[in-house]
Amino acid sequence: MHNHQITILPNGIRIISETLPYVKSFSLGFWFNVGTRDENDNNNGISHFIEHMLFKGTKNRSASQIADEIESLGGYLNAFTSKEHTCYYGRGLSRHIEKTFEVLADMVQNPTFKNREIKKEAGVVVDELYDIEDNPEELIFDKFESMLFKGNDLSRPIIGTTKNILSFKREDLLSYLKDNYTFDNLFIVASGAVNHQDLVEFTKKYFSKDLGKSKRKRKKLNLNQAEDLYVFKDIQQSHFIMGKPTYGYDNKNRIKVSLLSHILGEGSSSRLFQSIREKNGIAYQ
């Protein structure tokens, strides 16, 4: 039986662990409750840009040292940004969990945001934006969400706009970090060969800096009526997406909807796959 434990520290940090006694490795994530939803038109893309920049060096480590310290132990570091969360995570053998924890804690508390690195990384992120524009399978989801959530903060693309990406300054990043990378926005989550009390002690040890508390308030969503949107690209195939608002994570009915989604469209035995590809030969996928 899996062992789940939760600790909430007085400063607001939440520590969640799942011990798996049959493994020798761990997965550790620092989840911040901040994403595209917390941006505006002028700084859209800043959550994702900061995610990139935290790998570019801290007051204690260069970018290469961040990578070398973990990879030399056979570990792995990465991160991702979503509409509502930003996660920095690492994986490795259980005996290296404290080192991974310490490196991640250093990254989220002590980034340098050097101007030359900001300028260089802006070019990288703009190229990532072009990758999305050139990939209809990704682009269609961005366009769908922009229509579904039109007029709401969730309508904006995670990566932002070229104009915003090229305009971010050091003070913009520092201000956004201070406002959102706070104790009450931080969830430390680990699974595998982990000891919950060790995670609590690591948190107390490596989060000595006062990150304060967030004053942010998210706006309530106002969903729109059904619409059609067409994006024309000079490519050989058509890509189609259809959807509607449904239950949130806090509603038990979402499990029923997830099951229905699998029956209709997940895997080669699904109704849509069998009808579109196997029966009618309309499309490959």
Query: Which residues are known to be catalytic?
Result: 51
Q: C-alpha dihedral over 165, 169, 170, 173, to 10 degrees? A: -50
Identify the residue whose tokens are 């990378």. 181
Other CB atoms within 10 A of residue 119 CB: 11
> Cα 148 vs. chain centroid, distance in angstroms?
20
